[in-house]
Amino acid sequence: MDKTISNILAQEILSKEDIVALLKSKGQDRRLLFKCAHDIKKKFIGNYTYYRGLVEFSNICAKDCYYCGIRKSNNNTHRYQLKDEEILKAAEFAYKEKYGSVVLQAGELFNKKHINRITKLLKKIKSLSNHELGITISLGEQTYETYKTWFDAGAHRFLLRIETSNPELYQKLHPNDSLHSYETRIKALKNLQKAGYQTGTGVMIGLPFQTIEDLADDLLFMKELDIDMCGMGPFIAHADTPLYQYKDELWPIEERFDLSLKMIAILRILMKDINIAAATALQAIDPIGREKAIKIGANIIMPNITPGSYRDDYSLYENKPCTDEEAEDCKTCLEARITISGDEIGYGQWGDSPHFKAKLALSK
């Protein structure tokens, strides 16, 4: 006899088939899924959302991923690089506004000059905030030695999205060369854990060639990898990328949005005490997309504190929201949005992953 959604949600362990059923849920079953995820978040995380002030400091990238608007081969992108003082000014804003943490994000570069620059910036951010500002970085695949150098300089969380856990699908999203290797991505994630980071990953939802079964495998992959945080959201095609040719074959945008919410809810059920971000891409589809994600399991939001004049150029996907705002505008807007969603903002707190803290305590 087929299990009901209620039966599935009452289980301690979910199989791939259970997850597929949850991803396909509609109506009352969908509401049961979201309520379960909401209740688990409230029990294990509390009604708190934590800020990560996002600084997108460069769109110069050595990679050529087929889905990304800042890929190396896109000659229609206006390239930019923030000056050190602009990055530090943004970090100072986050510190003064009690955001608790910042995220430094950029295209992937691997040269010595870039690595040394990041190391110095991390130390300066720690210094200007009296070591009170938490730092997440999202700077791609690097060597273990580079990850450890940055960790020792002050970064303690790292987001490196796998994008898909299916190796065959991964290859369809990237050039077939040594710079775009699934195995290298996996090794980098394990090196991050080894270096001591709270390690995050994530996937795109609604990619060309992707199946519901792939998404179920993605969730099981994250659980098996034992991640501490996750950032995932709907795939939105960019006109200046190779994958744009498949735009008419994608799941409808509303379905990609709905599946993104379900992925967040199911991950909250599978990994009760990790940090889950409400991705900005959700708001590109639904004006209150991020609030909906917070209600059903997400607990991290990333206000963009990149100077407004640069925001349009960090175009990973189309219709990116909030590119015409400054940091202060973003802060005011998000405060209202989070309050509406029923959460409190964890001002002045790092909001570290309880999952990571528990693992750390067990290892001592």
Place of tokens 């807007």: 333
The pLDDT score that the predictor gives to residue 106 is 97
What are the C-alpha distances in Å from 108 to residues 74, 84, 104, 177, 280?
15, 17, 12, 16, 20
Query: Cα–Cα distance between 3 and 347 in angstroms, integer?
Result: 42
Which residues are within 8 A (CB) of 215 and not within 5 positions of it... i.e. 6 or more apart? Answer: 23, 203, 205, 259, 263
Summarised one tens digit per residue, pLDDT across range 333-359 is: 778 778 888 899 999 999 999 999 999
What is the DSSP track for 286-306? STTHHHHHHHTT--EE--B-S
Mean pLDDT for 63-68 is 98
The token duo for 161 is: 């999205």
The pLDDT score that the predictor gives to residue 324 is 53
The pLDDT score that the predictor gives to residue 325 is 56
Is the confidence at residue 130, as pLDDT, over 80?
yes
Which has the minimum average pLDDT: 86-90, 126-130, 149-153, 288-292?
288-292
Query: Cα–Cα distance between 22 and 33 in angstroms, integer?
Result: 7
Give buried/exposed letters for 306-322 (b at 16+ CB in 10 A, else e). Answer: bbbebbebbbbbeebbb
Residue 332, burial from CB neighbour count under 10 angstroms (0-12, 13-18, 19+)? exposed
277 near 300, Cβ under 8 Å? yes
Confidence of residue 317 (pLDDT cuts 50, 70, 90): low
Domains plus CATH for the chain? Answer: 47-359 (3.20.20.70)
106 near 56, Cβ under 8 Å? yes
The pLDDT score that the predictor gives to residue 310 is 67
> What separation, in Å, do the N-terminal and C-terminal C-alpha atoms of the chain show?
46
Which residues are within 8 A (CB) of 120 and not within 5 positions of it... i.e. 6 or more apart? Answer: 84, 153
Which residues are within 8 A (CB) of 175 and not within 5 positions of it... i.e. 6 or more apart? Answer: 64, 66
The pLDDT score that the predictor gives to residue 124 is 98
Confidence of residue 363 (pLDDT cuts 50, 70, 90): confident
Place of tokens 């209620």: 6
Mean pLDDT for 150-159 is 98
Query: Cα–Cα distance between 136 and 139 in angstroms, integer?
Result: 10
Mean pLDDT for 196-210 is 98
Residue 341: other Cβ atoms inside 10 A: 20
The pLDDT score that the predictor gives to residue 356 is 97
pTM for the whole thing?
Answer: 0.95
The pLDDT score that the predictor gives to residue 260 is 98
The pLDDT score that the predictor gives to residue 321 is 58
Strand-pair partners of 199: 158
106 near 139, Cβ under 8 Å? yes
Summarised one tens digit per residue, pLDDT across range 227-259 is: 999 999 999 999 999 999 999 999 999 999 999
Confidence of residue 328 (pLDDT cuts 50, 70, 90): low
The pLDDT score that the predictor gives to residue 320 is 57
